[in-house]
Amino acid sequence: MTPSYVLALDQGTTSSRAVLFDHQGRLCRIAQQEFTQHYPKPGWVEHDANEIWTTQKQVTEQVLRDHGVSARQVVAIGITNQRETTVIWDRTTGEPIANALVWQDKRTAPLCEELRERGLEDQVREKTGLVIDSYFSATKIRWMLDHIDRARERAERGELLFGTMDTWLMWKATGGQRHVTDYTNAGRTMLFDIRELAWDEELLRELDIPAAMLPDVLPCSADFGTWTIDGVDIPIAGVAGDQHAALFGQACFEPGTAKNTYGTGCFMLMNTGEELCYSKNGLISTLAWGPDGKVNYALEGSIFIAGAAVQWLRDGLKLIQSASETEALARQAGEAQEVYVVPAFVGLGAPYWDMYARGAIFGLTRDTGAPELVRATLQSLAYQTRDVLEAMQEDSGLTLQTLKVDGGAVANNYLMQFQADILGVEVERPEVIESTAWGAACLAGMHVGIWSLETIAEVRRVEKRFAPHMDDTARASLYAGWQKAVKRTLGWLHE
- Asked, for residue 262, whether it belongs to a domain, the answer is yes
- Asked, for residue 298, whether it belongs to a domain, the answer is yes
Cβ atoms of 200 and 422 closer than 8 Å:
no
Spatial distance between the Cα atoms of 486 and 106, rounded to a whole number of angstroms: 19
- Asked, for residue 210, whether it belongs to a domain, the answer is yes
- Asked, for residue 124, whether it belongs to a domain, the answer is yes
Binding residues for ADP: 13, 17, 264, 307, 408, 412
Is 146 in the same domain as 279?
Answer: no
Is 324 in the same domain as 292?
Answer: yes
Is 128 in the same domain as 268?
Answer: no
Comparing C-alpha atoms, which of 461, 400, 445 is closest to residue 427?
400
Is 236 in the same domain as 256?
Answer: no
pLDDT at 350: 81
Instruction: Give 268's DSSP letter.
Output: E
Q: How big, in percent rounded to 5, are the helix, strand and coil portions of the chain? A: 40, 25, 35
- Asked, for residue 246, whether it belongs to a domain, the answer is no
pLDDT at 277: 85
pLDDT at 393: 86
The answer for residues whose C-beta is within 8 angstroms of residue 459's C-beta and 6 or more apart is: 24, 25
- Asked, for residue 197, whether it belongs to a domain, the answer is yes
Is 263 in the same domain as 236?
Answer: no
Cβ atoms of 45 and 38 closer than 8 Å:
yes
Spatial distance between the Cα atoms of 241 and 179, rounded to a whole number of angstroms: 16
pLDDT at 495: 52
- Asked, for residue 89, whether it belongs to a domain, the answer is yes
Is 84 in the same domain as 14?
Answer: yes
Q: What is the domain count for the chain?
A: 2
In this structure, what CATH number is given to the domain that contains residue 16? Answer: 3.30.420.40
Cβ atoms of 243 and 188 closer than 8 Å:
no
- Domain encompassing residue 273: 251-494
Parallel, antiparallel or unpaired: strands 74-81 and 5-11? parallel
Is 233 in the same domain as 268?
Answer: no
- Asked, for residue 156, whether it belongs to a domain, the answer is yes
pLDDT at 461: 85
Is 284 in the same domain as 221?
Answer: no
Q: How many CA atoms lie within 13 A of 85 on its CB side?
A: 28
- What secondary structure, in 3-state letters, does 415-453 show? HHHHHHHHHCCEEEEECCCCHHHHHHHHHHHHHCCCCCH
Spatial distance between the Cα atoms of 39 and 425, rounded to a whole number of angstroms: 38
pLDDT at 290: 78
Is 309 in the same domain as 412?
Answer: yes
Comparing C-alpha atoms, which of 340, 292, 301, 54 is closest to residue 169?
54
Q: Where are the beta strands (DSSP E) in 219-283?
A: 226-229, 232-241, 258-262, 266-273
Spatial distance between the Cα atoms of 209 and 213, rounded to a whole number of angstroms: 8
Spatial distance between the Cα atoms of 385 and 259, rounded to a whole number of angstroms: 11
Positions in the chain whose pLDDT score sits under 50: none
Cα–Cα–Cα angle for 133, 139, 143, nearest 5°? 140
Is 100 in the same domain as 80?
Answer: yes
pLDDT at 396: 81
From 213, 241, 269, the end of a domain falls on 241
Is 347 in the same domain as 442?
Answer: yes
Binding residues for ATP: 13-15, 264, 307, 311, 408
From 241, 275, 300, the end of a domain falls on 241
Is 282 in the same domain as 304?
Answer: yes
Binding residues: 13-15, 17, 83-84, 135, 242-243, 264, 307, 311, 408, 412
Spatial distance between the Cα atoms of 92 and 215, rounded to a whole number of angstroms: 15
From 205, 221, 241, the end of a domain falls on 241
Instruction: Give 304's DSSP letter.
Output: S
Rg (CA), the chain: 22
pLDDT at 6: 96
Q: How many CA atoms lie within 13 A of 141 on its CB side?
A: 27
Residue type, 54: T
